[in-house]
Amino acid sequence: MNYTLHQLQVFLKVTETKSITKAAEQLYLTQPAVSIQLRNFQDQFDIPLTEVVGRQLYVTEFGMEIARAAQNILNEVQAINYKTMAYKGKLSGKLSITSVSTGKYVIPFLLADFLKQHTEVELVLDVTNKNRVVRSLENNEVDFALVSLFPDLSVQSIPLMENQLVLVANRDFPMPKKPLTLEAIQALPLIYREAGSGSRFVMERFLNQLDSKGTKKMELTGNEAVKQAIMAGLGCSIMPVIGIKNELQNGDVQIIPAEGLPQSSQWNMIWMKSKNLSPVAEAYKNYLLENKSTIIQNHFGWTEQL
């Protein structure tokens, strides 16, 4: 056996993605380079690691055993690197965080100074939908998750700030003389986020207080798509105020006063109770606890003026 760490990394990525093309993209390599490394790795075993049926790549049972061993080896190598940097007095290692999509307006500010202080820390950040966030936590793929609604998991949390949702319309929407009633809101052409979104959950919870439900004009994936539809005059939506700062300043959208709004949820940084935090993750947790109030006031204090 004369396999290299690089071959282990390539093989492990292929087993994760079940695709040479996707593995190449995530490793920033060419497809031929991945194929060559995979073939060289396979040549060291008499039993197939992968097989192709039709056009789909499958990992054999033996291949999965080797993948688990490869992961253990790479974990040990990473631990050696961490210990070396720690001996030099530097915090190093991987910090893995996932966030629901609206969290992209929050998470950069929660990370910036920490990463400046600890330049040897490698950040892996996945901004995605709520379902994938929950899966990442369940599968122990991440250290932390930024959420506005708690998943049905056994977690610990650091409360951060309110997530206020308001009724948003474009610049041409006539400003009412008094706050709109729930019935009036339900009569509007409403734009919904996709199913499973935290914003969608809060919006539906608010609208469903009456027997009749809102008139759904359309359903769009992502906060940015909803904003563009609002600015184009396609309808109104109930959405997080943190995601419309620039549009408010530019006068592209406006917040419409409404009874029962804003609705609020809570941004929390969470992690599984059973999670053994790495030194990097532990340091980041302590950083958040010590600095969250200052970060929130400096970057999100403007929301209190609305």
Q: How many domains does the chain have?
A: 3
Q: Is the pTM of this model over 0.85?
A: no
Place of tokens 């093309």: 21
Q: Where are the beta strands (DSSP E) in 233-301?
A: 237-240, 253-255, 263-272
Least-confidence region, from 12-21, 117-126, 204-213, 291-300: 204-213
| Tokens read off for 181 | 């009633």
Q: Is the pLDDT of residue 291 over 70?
A: yes
Shared domain for 117 and 253, answered yes or no, is no
Instruction: Please identify, among 31, 66, 85, the residue that sits at the C-terminal boundary of a domain.
Output: 85
Whether the upstream peptide bond of residue 32 has omega within 30° of 0, thus cis, is no
Shared domain for 167 and 211, answered yes or no, is yes
Place of tokens 């122990």: 140
Instruction: Please identify, among 85, 107, 126, the residue that sits at the C-terminal boundary of a domain.
Output: 85
Place of tokens 């958040």: 288
Q: How far apart are CA 251 and CA 203, in angstroms?
A: 23
Residue 39 pLDDT = 92
Rounded to whole angstroms, what are the CA distances from 14 to 34, 38, 172? Answer: 9, 8, 51
Residue 129 pLDDT = 83
Shared domain for 260 and 169, answered yes or no, is yes
Shared domain for 121 and 143, answered yes or no, is yes
Q: Is the pLDDT of residue 78 over 80?
A: no
**Residue-range definition of the domain harbouring residue 46:** 5-85
Q: Is the pLDDT of residue 5 over 60?
A: yes
pLDDT band at 55; cut points 50, 70, 90: confident
For 238-284, the pLDDT digits (tens) are: 999 999 999 999 999 999 999 999 988 899 999 999 888 888 899 89
Shared domain for 126 and 250, answered yes or no, is no
What region does 255 belong to: left with phi over 0, alpha with psi -120 to 50, or beta?
A: beta
Q: Is the pLDDT of residue 99 over 80?
A: yes
pLDDT band at 90; cut points 50, 70, 90: low
Shared domain for 103 and 251, answered yes or no, is no
Q: How far apart are CA 157 and CA 159, in angstroms?
A: 6
Q: Is the pLDDT of residue 229 over 90?
A: yes
Q: How far apart are CA 272 and CA 136, in angstroms?
A: 11
For 102-115, the pLDDT digits (tens) are: 899 999 999 999 99
CATH number of the domain bearing residue 283:
3.40.190.10
- Judge whether 101 and 73 are in contact, CB under 8 Å: no
More confident residue, 288 or 91: 288
Q: Is the pLDDT of residue 235 over 70?
A: yes
Shared domain for 40 and 94, answered yes or no, is no
Q: Is the pLDDT of residue 204 over 80?
A: yes
Shared domain for 142 and 288, answered yes or no, is yes
How many residues are listed for the chain in this entry?
306
Shared domain for 184 and 136, answered yes or no, is no
Shared domain for 250 and 274, answered yes or no, is no
CATH number of the domain bearing residue 22:
1.10.10.10
For β-strands 144-147 and 93-100, DSSP reports them as parallel
Q: What is the mean pLDDT of residues 122-134?
A: 88
Shared domain for 292 and 149, answered yes or no, is yes
Residue 279 pLDDT = 84
For 172-184, the pLDDT digits (tens) are: 999 999 999 998 9
Instruction: Please identify, among 85, 103, 119, the residue that sits at the C-terminal boundary of a domain.
Output: 85
More confident residue, 91 or 167: 167
Q: What is the mean pLDDT of residues 61-90?
A: 79
Shared domain for 56 and 182, answered yes or no, is no
Percent of the chain with pLDDT over 90: 54
Q: What is the mean pLDDT of residues 195-215?
A: 77
Residue 155 pLDDT = 94
Whole-number average pLDDT of the chain: 88
